[in-house]
Amino acid sequence: MKDLLLRYATPLTTGLFIISLISGVFLFVKIGGPLKGIHEWLSMLLIAPFVLHLWRNWRPFMAYFKRTPMIIAIVISVALTVPFFLDSSSRTLPPYVQFSRTMLKGTPAELAPVLDVPAAEIVALLIAAGYAGAAEGKSFEVIASEAAKDNNAMIATLAGVKPAGN
């Protein structure tokens, strides 16, 4: 079995890399929506043959690190990723997270009609959950901050609001 795995490590790495490369290019140029799943899952599968490939070629691989080009290549590769971590506009949050963050900028008075409950009921729920400074005119973010709780705790509390008729 070991021989079989090692025999296929490099071919599988190559095949999965080519598929990942092509699907990544299509996704980069914004075509091929269904390729997103293919790209993500096959990239995850690529890890196993990559590890086997490294295992099989460990000594030659480590020899690269004794030479300047490998060090330079790693430094350049890492440096190219830094702007993506620094640029917050490149981080697209899932829609439900964006929605939640937008809702937390609002106040109980603004959210009450949406939830079909009186604002006073939302404030009472918040106070009962430990948000002592809750008020109809304060934003949920401010209320959470004053209570030293994070936004996720606030969302969990607001999930307990029961609309009228339910």
User: Cα 130 vs. chain centroid, distance in angstroms?
Assistant: 29
pLDDT at 122: 93
Asked if residue 122 lies in contact with residue 115, where contact means CB atoms within 8 angstroms, the answer is: yes
Task: Copy the structure tokens of residue 115.
Answer: 């939830």
Q: Which structural domain, as residue segments, surrounds residue 77?
A: 2-90
Asked if residue 90 lies in contact with residue 84, where contact means CB atoms within 8 angstroms, the answer is: yes
Same domain, 85 and 101: no
Type of residue at 165: G
Q: Is residue 163 part of a domain?
A: no
Asked if residue 139 lies in contact with residue 99, where contact means CB atoms within 8 angstroms, the answer is: no
Provide the domain count of the chain: 2
Average pLDDT over residues 92-120: 87
pLDDT at 108: 95
What is the spatial distance between Cα 56 and Cα 76, in angstroms, rounded to a whole number? 26
Mean pLDDT taken over the chain: 86
- Asked if the model's pLDDT at residue 90 lies above 60, the reply is no
- Asked if the model's pLDDT at residue 88 lies above 90, the reply is no
- Asked if the model's pLDDT at residue 28 lies above 90, the reply is no
Report the predicted TM-score, pTM, of the whole model to 2 decimal places.
Answer: 0.47
